[in-house]
Structure 1
Amino acid sequence: EIAAKKHYTVGGQIGGFYTHYDGLHFVTVKGAGHMVPTDKPAVAFHIIFSFLFDQKF
């Protein structure tokens, strides 16, 4: 079963949306193209930090 999309915030604003299915996490970044770290560095840091340290969004 696919989980419902939920939003996450970075700095008090919506950074994008995430969902998961069968152990796979899918994250979108609002306002970013294929170079997320260049377009939205704070959001990219938040995503990577959360995955590395097993923290919730």
Structure 2
Amino acid sequence: MKQIQTIARIAEWAEAGGAMPMDKELAALAAVMDHLDTYNDTYEADTVVLLNVRAAI
């Protein structure tokens, strides 16, 4: 999904009240982070980005 489409989708979900409850959202984020490749050169940067996105939400 392209970035502009992703942003539009997030806005649509927010307007519709479709956000996940915080406990489910945190579990989903943790699951995504568990699937990151710890041996990849971008692992730390990817983790920081995901945590910053969560903090912004």
TM range (shorter): 0.3 to 0.5
TM-score w.r.t. the length of structure 2 is: 0.35
Q: Relative to total residues, which structure has the larger strand share, 1 or 2?
A: 1
Larger radius of gyration: 2
Q: Which structure's relative contact order is higher, taking Cα pairs within 8 Å and 6+ residues apart?
A: 1
